[in-house]
Structure 1
Amino acid sequence: MIGLIIVPAGGVLADPQPTISQAKAKLEKLNDKADKVVDRYNTATESYKDAKKRYDKLNDSYKRKLSTVTELRQQVVAMAVNGYQVGRDLTTLPSLVTSDRPDDLLYQMALTGRLSQERAGMLAAFDRENRGLKAERDKAQAALGEADEERDKIRQERAEVEKLVTQQKKLLNRLGAYRAGDPNSTGIKYTGPASGSAAAVLSFAYAQVGKPYQFGGTGPGGWDCSGLTQASWRAAGVSLPRTTWQQWAWGANRRVSLDALQPGDLIFSEGLGHVSIYAGNGKIVHAPQTGDVVKVVALSSYGRRLVGAVRP
């Protein structure tokens, strides 16, 4: 018996759609990869900001020194002209002999000497400023070059992130699981066991629930994972670095066991691609990944493997 193959109109068989389990498995891999790329992107962004800040500082110094040099030059020129006018022919013997008022002439000579010493000091200062100016200018140029390199890195990282985000969105839409979120969400009220600084941290984080995950997001309308943790602890008066890697390194002396978590602790995934905040009672609040929103979930349902925790 000969079997028949039904070919769709157009004569080309469509690629088989992945099963839900296959799509979810692929999405999990994309999320893991995106976590790492986003953190590299954030790190490159922070490096660029630091390099730009250094350049701006050196450039301001350059401008101040340039202003000083210009002022010194004007003073030196003015004193040279004045010294010539006051001192010419005054120090010759005929002038001293024929002068009607030799006391005045001696005074003028003494004044000219003082002006000469002052002018010499000005010239020395002028020379020092010029040498310092060149050194500062060279530093500023080096900082600018560094900033340009970092900017190039950011462009490359951003392109890779945007490609991953597009793939994630397609998969989520195919699964019917894409959540756009509400940038104006007022979140939910925290009623857990935290107190003190941790209570302030979690009150802020819970107020962000429902807002979209956004790579590179630092609020107020969208967040990535480390942007949320940074802002939440800032609400309690603690300044954390920007990226997941930086926050983990910052907390080197503040590590705590995953078996002894307290509300407000930062929980890091293996590979340091993601960070969340422990809310107490076995729950965490976090900004998960593209196509999802800031939300509260059970730590036990957290899909990523954990590497450790930090208590700011």
Structure 2
Amino acid sequence: MAVRRMRRSATLAGALCAAIVVLLTQGSAIAEPRPTVAQAEAKLAKLEDQADQMVERYNTVAEKYKASKKKYDRLGGQLKSELTKVAELREDLVATAVGTYQSGDILLWPGFVNQQDPAAMLSGLAAGNQLAAARDRVLREFDLANRGLRDRRAKAKAALDEARDVLEEVRGERKKVEKLVGEQERLLRRLNRFNPGDPNSAGVRYTGPASGNARVALQFAFAQIGKPYRWGATGPGSYDCSGFTQASWAKAGVSLPRTTYTQWSWGASRRVSLDALQPGDLLFSKGLGHMGMYVGGGKMIHAPRTGDVVKVVSLDDYWRGRLLGAVRP
């Protein structure tokens, strides 16, 4: 009887301990505080800076891959041309060899020597020299073409290997960006601040003071207002920051490089003071993670970040002391 009571007590004690563990676990989960709006905003700002840098790194690597692939394709075309040339010269070489064998240019010499007519003998010698010269020419051309072919093959292989290596780098950067942008999007949706935009937005008519090609660039830029930001995009339905400025100035006949880094470098001799900005000037953030276009009146137009759209913003409100400099295309 006593043993039975002891067993019942042990069972009850075990159940009580288990219940306490569950309650403590649930309590700690319930007690874990959700981030405040201010904390979420701070995290979002940090994510924006990280995303800006990472997207531009991705764009840089992607452009490097495009250049490597273009180089390989060009060398591949040259290689094909060399193959055709070598094949044609091989046919000429075979025809020359057959002709030499059939005419037997060594056997021609006794006939030349036994010629009674000196003029005829000289004519025969000249013909023999011409055959030899033609044969030598074909041999030289064939040898040079083969050397060129080997060189083209080596260069094409090197370019292909380079493109493959860079492609792996592109894939790695893409995964990093996708992970970061996913986190950014989830946070924006939690804050109810995710704006999907409209890829078919008609934009806004530009009525500012710009003239010349700057006006053309800004007219195009304003026509994109409302279209979504999308990393790696260059239009027409969405843009990232450097893709947006590149597309806007391309409309005005100015060919800008693809990334913020290369656009800033391209503009080394075109830098302008921030006190002398004109509509159409390119604006760059410190660290070169972001950029936009000055529209006048202390404002710029840009493609901001994931979950936002092309729009006009105040320089003071947006940059908050992060403005690096300006370039006038």
Please say if 1:202 is aligned against 2:218.
yes
Among 67, 77, 83, the alignment partner of 1:66 is 83
Partner of 1:56: 73
Tell me: CA distance 1:89–1:58, structure 2 relative to 1, closer, same or farther (3 Å). Answer: closer
Whether the aligned pair in 2 keeps the contact of 1:90 and 1:105 (CA below 8 Å) is no
SS of corresponding position for 1:47: helix
CA gap of 1:14–1:86, structure 2 versus 1, over 3 A, is farther
When normalised by structure 1's length, the TM-score is 0.90
Q: Deviations over 1:223-259 (max 9, x none)?
A: 0000000111111111111100001111111111112
CA contact (8 A) 1:86 1:112 kept: no
Query: Aligned runs of 1:89-238 on 2, under 5 Å?
Result: 90-91=107-108, 93=110, 110-238=126-254
Greater displacement, 136-145 / 88-97: 88-97
Match for residue 3 of structure 1? none
Conserved 8 A contact 1:7-1:13: no
- CA 1:123–1:88 in structure 2 vs 1: closer, same or farther (change >3 Å)? closer
CA distance in 2 between counterparts of 1:81 and 1:14 reads 96
Q: 2:290 aligns with which of 248, 263, 274?
A: 274
Cα 1:80–1:295 shift into 2, 3 Å: same
Q: Which is higher, the Rg of structure 1 or of structure 2?
A: 2
Does the 8 Å CA contact 2:112/2:125 hold for their aligned counterparts? no
Q: What percent identity do the matched residue pairs reach? A: 56
User: Counterpart of 1:35 in structure 2: which amino acid?
Assistant: D
Relative to structure 1, the CA distance from residue 89 to residue 38 in structure 2 (aligned partners, 3 Å threshold; closer, same or farther) is closer
Q: 1:294 to 1:260 in 2, by over 3 A?
A: same
Shift of 1:70: 1.2
Shift of 1:107: 6.2
Distance in structure 2 (CA, Å) of the matches to 1:290 and 1:169:
7
**Selected match of 2:33 from 16, 19, 27:** 16
Instruction: Please give the per-residue CA displacement for 1:144-166, whole angstroms capped at 9, x wherever unaligned.
Output: 11111111111111100000110
Measure how far apart 1:87 and its partner are: 2.8
Higher share in helix: 2
Deviation at 1:102, TM superposition (A): 12
Counterpart pick for 1:283 among 264, 275, 299 = 299
Tell me the SS of whatever aligns to 2:269. Answer: coil
Question: CA distance change for structure 1 residues 86 and 309 in 2, over 3 Å: closer, same or farther?
Answer: same
Check if 1:293 corresponds to 2:309.
yes
Distance 2:31 2:309 in 1: 33
Q: C-alpha separation between the residues in 2 aligned to 1:306 and 1:265?
A: 13
CA contact (8 A) 1:275 1:286 kept: yes
C-alpha displacement at 1:126, in angstroms? 1.1
Aligned-residue offset at 1:10: 11
3-state DSSP class of the match of 2:326? strand
Whichever residue aligns with residue 37 of structure 1, its letter is M
Quote the offset at 1:23 in angstroms: 0.6
1:107-164 per-residue CA deviation (whole Å, 9 max, x = no partner) reads: 6665344222201111011111112221222111111111111111111111000001
36-45 or 116-125, which deviates more: 116-125
SS class of match (1:245): helix
TM-superposed deviation, 1:106: 8.3
2: distance between equivalents of 1:145 and 1:14? 55
8 Å Cα contact 1:225-1:288 kept in structure 2 = yes
Q: Is the 8 A contact 2:105 2:128 kept in 1?
A: no
Q: Quote the RMSD (CA, aligned, Å).
A: 2.7
Distance 1:241 1:124 in 2: 44
Letter in 1 for 2:62: T
Which of residues 40, 47, 50 is equivalent to 2:57?
A: 40
Verify the 8 A CA contact 1:90 1:109 in the aligned structure 2. Answer: no
Name stretches of at least 5 consecutive residues in structure 1 with no aligned partner.
1-5
Q: Residue 209 of structure 2 aligns to which amino acid in structure 1?
A: P
Matched residue type, 1:294:
V
SS in 2 for 1:309: strand
CA–CA separation in structure 2 for the residues paired with 1:243 and 1:112:
65
